[in-house]
C-alpha cells in the first residue's frame, strides 16, 4: 500500500517549484493562507488529485472555493476574454475518425454542423483595444446532432500553468495592478513578470507570448488549439489521445509591434472590423480542423507528459491529420444577444469525446459552468438562443429557476418514474447504449496535493520553440522581452526572469540582458535539466504563410490631378490577386483626376493611416505631391509603411514624398512605370530584409 506523503513539521509557503527551497518561507498564523472561513491551506500550488497524474477530486474545497470566488469577481463582464468578436458558420467533416470515436460530428463525412465562433483577447476589458500583445481566445461551439460540443481554446497550443488552482493567481498578476488600476490589456508590468519569474512552468508559454503570434494581423489569420489533451472513444470504448488544431486557410500572419501599437490608436476595433467586413463582403474565413492521435503506449513513450498543458506534441513526431474544414459565413444579428451572451463550456462534449486527467482541464470543467451562473445570472443560460442545442432536442428533469422560459407539461419531474404504466407521459429516460460514457480509466492512488514528476521539465520545450524560429522571429522575441521587462520597476523581477531565460538559451538571455543594460545573473535552478530536442520548423510563422494578396488590403493614396488609368490598373491587379483596395485622399469628398473625372474616396488621409493596410500605392500628381510634402499625415503614411516592412508602389510624381519620408530603394519599393503587376508579388509579403535598416532589435 502506498504510504501518504509526510506532513512538514512547520507550515511552509511554497512559491515556486524549481529551486523551491530558495523560495519557501515559514508561515505564521498571521501570514499563512487560509480559506475564506479561516481554514489554513497547506498547499496553494496543486489541486487534490487521485495520484500524481490522476483526476482532480471534487472534494477539494480549497480549489472549489478559490476558483468559485475568482469566477464571481466581476459582473457581468467576463473576467478574462472580455473583448470578443464572433461569427456564425459551419463545420464540414472530410475524413471520418470512426475507427477512433463514435461521435457523429467526427464520423459522418460530408455532414455540415452549424457553428458559432468567438475570438477574444484575454487580459483587457470589454472596452479595451483589439491589438495588444496578448493571447487570443479561439472558442468554437458546434451544434452537433448529439448535443453541443464546445472546443474552447486559444491561438497558442500551450498554457502558462499546469494546474487550475493557479489560474486566479495568473490572471490577478496579468490584470491591471490592484492599487492603481493600470496598465490595461498589457503584460508589461511588475506583477505579471514577478509571477512569471516565480513560476518556471510558464517559461514555454512566455516564448509564445513574446512571439509574433500574439500580435496577429487578423482574426482570420490565427491558428486555434484545443490546448489540452482529450480522448476519443470508439464503439468498443477503446480510447485514443487527441489534440485538436485549427489552421487558417490564409496562413498564420502577424503585424510588427510598432504597427500593432499604432493600429490601436488609429482603429481600436481593427480586428472586429476586419472580421465583420470580410464576411460581409463574401470573403469567408476558413480553417482546417486537424488532429494528432496517440495511443496510450505512444503517449507513454513521449519525453514529456501528455497531460501537461504547458507542453505540445511537435508535428514532426506526430503529423497533423486533416479531418474537416470550418467556414464562417454570417455575422451576428445582435452583438449582445449572441457574442456577449454565448456561454462556452469545456464540459460540453458529445458521446465519443472525453476529457483527460490534465489538472488544468479538470479545473476548467468546473470553472466555466460556475462563471456562466455569475455572468448570465441563471442556471437556465442554456435556453438563450445562442446557447441552445440546435442539432438535437434537449430535455431532462431539471426545472424552474430564474428566467425559466420553457413550459413543462405533465406531472413527471423526477426519474425514474412509472407514470407511463398509467398512460401518462413519464418524460425522458437515460440511454445506456447511446448516452455519454466516460473512459473507464483504472485508478487506485493515495489522495495527494503534488505535481507529478513528469511535469517537472519546464524549459526543454521553451528551448525547442525559441531555437526552431527563424532569425527574424528570434530577434522579435528578444526585443519583446526587452520591452516588457523594461517596464518593470523592480530589478529583482528582471533578474529572476533573466536567470530563467538562461535555461532556455544562453544567447537569448544575453541579448535580453544587453538590451536592458544589465549584467546577466546566475542561471536559475531547474527542477529537471533542460534537454535539446530536434528542431520543429512547423513552429515558425515567417516563410510558412502563403504568398498571396487574398484576404489582404492595399491602400492607394491619390491626389487631385492624378492619372486615373494608373489607379485603375493598380485596382485591377490587386483585385485579380484576391486583395481589396481602399482609395485614400486628403479629403473625403473625392478626388478630381486628370481629365476631370471624380474618384470616390474610402478614407481621409489623416484618419486612415498606412498601418491599416498590408501594402500601399502612391498615385499622385506633381502639384498634389508638393502639397503633401507639408502634411505630417502624408509623410507618416509613407514612413510607417516603409518602417513596417510593407511594399510601396509609386508614380514618378510621388518620388519627392518618398525621399522626404526616408524611403530607400529595395525590392519592396516598386516604380509603377514597370506596370501595376510588378507590385503584386512584393505586396503579398513583408520585406523582412529591410528590417535592420529601420529599427534596432535586441
The catalytic site residues sit at 81, 154
Q: How are beta strands 598-599 and 353-354 bridged, if at all?
A: unpaired
Taking the CB of residue 559, how many other CB atoms lie within 10 A of it? Answer: 27
Checking DSSP bridges between strand 647-650 and strand 669-671, what pairing results, if any? parallel
CA distance 313 to 275: 30
Q: Which residues contact 16 (CB under 8 A, 6 or more apart)?
A: 23, 198, 199, 200
Cell numbers of 42, please?
497547506
d(CA 15, CA 45): 8
Closest to 67 (Cα-Cα) out of 153, 172, 139, 218: 172
> Beta strands 286-294 and 239-248: pairing type?
antiparallel
User: What is the dihedral sign for C-alpha 457, 458, 462, 467?
Assistant: negative
Cα–Cα distance, 419 to 411 (Å, whole number)? 9
Q: Beta partners for 448?
A: 49
The 8 Å CB, 24+ separation contacts for 487-496 are: 487/183, 487/188, 487/189, 488/188, 488/189, 488/190, 488/193, 488/194, 489/190, 490/190, 490/194, 491/518, 493/190, 493/193, 493/194, 493/197, 494/193, 494/518, 495/521, 496/194, 496/197, 496/198, 496/521, 496/524
The answer to whether 473 and 208 have CB atoms below 8 angstroms apart is: no
Is there a contact between 575 and 551 (Cβ–Cβ < 8 Å)? no
User: How wide is the angle at C-alpha 287 spanned by C-alphas 285 and 292, nearest 5°?
Assistant: 170
Residue for grid cell 543594460: 517
Residues forming a β-bridge with 149: 142
> What residue has cell string 495568473?
170
What single DSSP character describes residue 435?
S
Direct distance between the N- and C-terminal alpha carbons of the chain, in angstroms, rounded to an integer: 55
Amino acid at each position: 500500500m502506498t504510504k501518504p506523503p509526510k506532513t512538514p513539521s512547520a507550515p511552509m509557503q511554497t512559491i515556486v517549484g524549481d529551486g523551491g527551497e530558495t523560495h519557501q518561507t515559514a508561515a505564521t498564523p498571521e501570514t499563512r493562507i487560509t480559506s475564506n472561513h479561516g481554514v489554513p491551506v497547506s498547499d496553494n500550488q496543486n489541486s487534490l488529485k487521485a495520484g500524481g497524474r490522476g483526476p482532480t477530486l471534487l472534494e477539494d474545497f480549497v480549489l472549489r472555493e478559490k476558483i468559485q470566488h475568482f469566477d464571481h469577481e466581476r459582473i457581468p463582464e467576463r473576467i478574462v476574454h472580455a473583448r470578443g468578436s464572433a461569427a456564425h458558420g459551419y463545420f464540414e467533416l472530410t475524413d471520418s475518425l470512426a475507427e477512433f470515436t463514435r461521435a457523429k460530428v467526427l464520423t459522418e463525412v460530408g455532414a455540415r454542423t452549424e457553428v458559432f465562433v468567438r475570438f477574444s483577447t484575454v487580459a483587457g476589458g470589454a472596452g479595451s483595444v483589439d491589438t495588444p500583445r496578448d493571447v487570443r481566445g479561439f472558442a468554437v461551439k458546434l451544434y452537433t446532432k448529439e448535443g453541443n460540443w464546445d472546443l474552447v481554446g486559444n491561438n497558442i497550443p500551450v498554457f502558462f500553468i499546469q494546474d487550475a488552482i493557479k489560474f486566479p493567481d495568473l490572471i490577478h498578476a496579468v490584470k491591471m495592478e490592484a492599487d492603481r488600476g493600470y496598465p490595461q490589456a498589457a503584460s508589461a508590468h511588475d506583477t505579471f513578470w514577478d509571477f512569471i519569474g516565480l513560476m518556471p512552468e510558464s517559461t514555454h508559454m512566455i516564448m509564445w507570448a513574446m512571439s509574433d503570434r500574439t500580435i496577429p494581423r487578423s482574426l482570420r489569420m490565427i491558428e486555434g488549439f484545443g490546448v489540452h489533451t482529450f480522448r476519443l472513444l470508439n464503439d468498443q470504448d477503446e480510447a485514443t489521445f487527441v489534440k485538436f488544431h485549427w489552421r487558417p486557410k490564409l496562413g498564420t500572419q502577424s503585424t510588427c509591434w510598432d504597427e500593432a501599437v499604432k493600429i490601436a490608436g488609429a482603429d481600436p476595433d481593427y480586428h472586429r472590423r476586419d472580421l465583420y467586413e470580410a464576411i460581409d463582403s463574401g470573403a469567408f474565413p476558413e480553417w482546417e480542423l486537424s488532429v494528432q492521435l496517440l495511443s496510450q503506449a505512444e503517449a507513454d513513450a513521449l519525453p514529456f507528459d501528455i497531460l501537461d498543458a504547458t507542453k505540445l506534441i511537435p508535428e514532426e513526431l506526430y503529423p497533423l491529420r486533416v479531418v474537416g474544414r470550418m467556414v464562417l459565413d454570417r455575422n451576428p444579428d445582435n452583438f449582445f444577444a449572441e457574442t456577449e451572451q454565448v456561454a462556452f463550456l469545456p464540459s460540453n462534449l458529445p458521446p465519443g469525446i472525453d476529457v483527460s486527467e490534465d489538472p488544468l482541464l479538470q479545473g476548467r470543467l468546473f470553472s466555466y459552468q460556475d462563471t456562466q451562473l455569475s455572468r448570465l445570472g441563471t442556471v437556465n443560460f442554456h435556453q438563450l438562443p445562442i446557447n441552445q442545442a440546435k442539432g438535437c432536442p434537449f430535455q431532462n428533469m431539471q426545472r424552474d429557476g430564474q428566467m425559466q422560459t420553457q413550459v413543462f407539461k405533465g406531472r413527471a419531474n423526477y426519474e425514474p418514474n412509472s407514470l407511463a404504466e398509467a398512460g401518462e407521459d413519464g418524460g425522458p429516460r437515460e440511454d445506456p447504449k447511446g448516452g455519454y460514457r466516460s473512459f473507464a480509466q483504472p485508478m487506485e492512488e493515495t489522495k495527494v496535493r503534488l505535481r507529478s514528476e513528469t511535469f517537472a521539465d519546464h524549459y526543454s520545450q521553451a528551448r525547442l520553440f525559441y531555437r526552431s524560429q527563424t532569425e527574424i522571429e528570434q530577434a522579435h522575441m528578444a526585443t519583446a522581452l526587452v520591452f516588457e521587462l523594461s517596464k518593470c520597476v523592480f530589478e529583482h523581477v528582471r533578474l529572476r526572469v533573466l536567470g530563467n531565460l538562461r535555461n532556455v538559451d544562453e544567447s537569448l538571455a544575453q541579448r535580453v540582458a544587453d538590451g536592458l543594460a544589465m549584467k546577466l545573473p546566475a542561471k536559475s535552478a531547474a527542477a529537471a535539466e533542460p534537454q535539446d530536442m530536434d528542431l520543429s520548423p512547423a513552429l515558425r510563422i515567417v516563410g510558412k504563410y502563403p504568398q498571396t494578396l487574398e484576404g489582404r488590403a492595399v491602400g492607394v493614396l491619390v491626389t487631385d490631378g492624378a492619372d486615373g488609368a494608373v489607379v485603375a490598373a493598380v485596382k485591377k491587379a490587386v483585385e485579380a490577386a484576391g486583395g481589396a483596395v481602399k482609395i485614400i485622399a486628403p479629403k473625403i469628398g473625392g478626388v478630381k483626376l486628370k481629365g476631370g473625372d471624380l474618384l470616390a474616396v474610402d478614407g481621409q488621409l489623416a484618419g486612415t493611416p498606412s498601418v491599416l493596410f498590408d501594402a500601399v500605392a502612391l498615385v499622385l500628381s506633381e502639384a498634389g505631391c508638393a502639397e503633401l510634402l507639408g502634411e505630417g499625415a502624408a509623410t507618416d503614411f509613407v514612413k510607417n509603411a516603409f518602417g513596417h516592412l510593407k511594399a510601396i508602389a509609386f508614380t514618378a510624381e510621388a518620388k519627392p514624398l518618398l525621399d522626404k519620408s526616408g524611403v530607400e530603394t529595395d525590392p519592396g519599393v516598386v516604380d509603377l512605370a514597370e506596370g501595376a503587376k510588378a507590385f503584386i508579388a512584393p505586396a503579398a509579403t513583408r520585406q523582412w530584409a529591410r528590417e535592420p535598416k529601420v529599427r534596432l532589435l535586441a
